[in-house]
Amino acid sequence: MSRRAATLTVASVLVLVLALVGSLMPVPYVALMPGPTSNTLGTNEKGEPLIKIDGRRTYDDKGHLNFVTVTYRGGPGGRIDLFTALRGWLQSDTAIVPEETIFPKNESQKQVDQENVRQMQDSQQSAEAAALNELGIKLSTQTVVNSVQKGMPAEGRLQPGDEIVSLDGTKITSTSQVTDLMAKRKIGASAALTVKRSGKEQKVTLTTAADPTGKRPVVGVVLGDQYKFPFKIDISVGDVGGPSAGLMFSLAIIDKLTPESMTGGKFIAGTGTITAEGKVGPIGGIQQKMVAARKAGATTFLTPKGNCSDAKAAKPDGLRLVRADTLHGARESIAALNGGKGEIPSC
């Protein structure tokens, strides 16, 4: 065998070995790719309205208000191989990110999935509250126990789902109010609570303990605000998690509750978290979400202000970016797109 032939043979073997190693070597990265997109004005996988409202008159809209998602490959339970990561780096619609970006250390994939489900549930409630606030429909809030910490005074006395009715005789209307009232007492002082459980009120008196810093009096509960709506709103999105569809949920609820067509028949997609006050927040995976929206047919994409820089740099052809700072602003921008007055802020 000539020296040249021997060199080619050795090189070929090395390439094959490297290819085999690359296909088997797991790496601590996750591939983010465009995920499914769904019309909040349409139906879910079961053919049921994605957003269903009972107890209030609703109106149809033939247009689209799509929320978009990101899908991923990899993670602690099934890491991608080196070649998959390298291929993803070369694809414009795929992002390869460190594993801890999606799966924080000391958290399992199951825990991350559970947190995503919780965030979706919270975002739906915030979206409903934001929509009703935007329309001037009155709603009330209640402060409930989300979790009880082990080894703290509330353990065995309070439980998740308990509504905090009053503290030391003061009616409670928000979590922040409880925080303010608790901060006024000394560590070791009592806290007289009235809680509602299964529709019945009961009194619970707890002795406060010190928080981990040793400076603040606490009883060992994590509280959250829940909203009491004057009619029923159901949002069914299937196996989708995270808080980033909040803005689109709010817009769809408003559209269903008002006789005018919000979309004017247009295909509008978007993303962004939402607070009950209607403030829009940034999200992750903006590049992949824009790609998913454009592939589905969207021509307008509502973009949180905090994502504008990345979105502008990766905008697909044929997709107009409209900056969304608030729910009210997004609503006005859509009206302007349909021929109404007002400016349309862009990224």
Question: Which is nearest to 253 in space by CA: 157, 142, 330, 166?
Answer: 330
The span from the CA of 226 to the CA of 172, in Å, is: 12
The span from the CA of 306 to the CA of 108, in Å, is: 29
Q: Give me the catalytic one of 256, 279, 289, 315.
A: 289
The pLDDT tens digits of the residues spanning 116-134 come to 788 888 899 999 999 999 9
How is residue 149 written in tokens? 């910490």
The span from the CA of 76 to the CA of 96, in Å, is: 15
Cβ-contact 64, 39 below 8 angstroms: yes
Cβ-contact 320, 299 below 8 angstroms: yes
Q: Respond yes or no: is residue 166 known to be catalytic.
A: no
Domains in the chain with CATH codes? 30-137+231-337 (3.30.230.10), 140-228 (2.30.42.10)
Cα 181 to chain centroid, rounded: 30
The span from the CA of 145 to the CA of 143, in Å, is: 7
The span from the CA of 106 to the CA of 286, in Å, is: 26
Q: What is the pLDDT of residue 313?
A: 92
How is residue 19 written in tokens? 């290819």
The pLDDT tens digits of the residues spanning 158-217 come to 999 999 999 999 999 888 899 999 999 999 999 999 999 999 999 999 999 998 888 899
Predicted TM-score of the model (pTM): 0.79
Bridge partners (DSSP) listed for residue 233: 53
Return the percentage of the chain with pLDDT > 90, whole number.
64
Q: Respond yes or no: is residue 244 known to be catalytic.
A: yes
Q: Give me the catalytic one of 38, 123, 126, 244.
A: 244
pLDDT (average), residues 9-24: 51
Predicted confidence (pLDDT) at residue 3 exceeds the cutoff of 70: no
Cβ-contact 254, 40 below 8 angstroms: no
The DSSP line for 212-276 is TTSSSEE-SEEEEEEEE-SSEEEE--SS--SSTTHHHHHHHHHHHHSSS-SSTT-EEEE--EE-T
The span from the CA of 211 to the CA of 195, in Å, is: 22
Name residue, tokens 């509960």: 221
Question: With the C-alpha atoms ordered 111, 112, 113, 115, is the resulting torsion angle positive or negative?
Answer: positive
Predicted confidence (pLDDT) at residue 10 exceeds the cutoff of 50: no
Name the least confident of 49-53, 121-125, 231-235, 323-327: 121-125
Predicted confidence (pLDDT) at residue 290 exceeds the cutoff of 90: yes
The span from the CA of 53 to the CA of 46, in Å, is: 17
Cβ-contact 229, 139 below 8 angstroms: yes
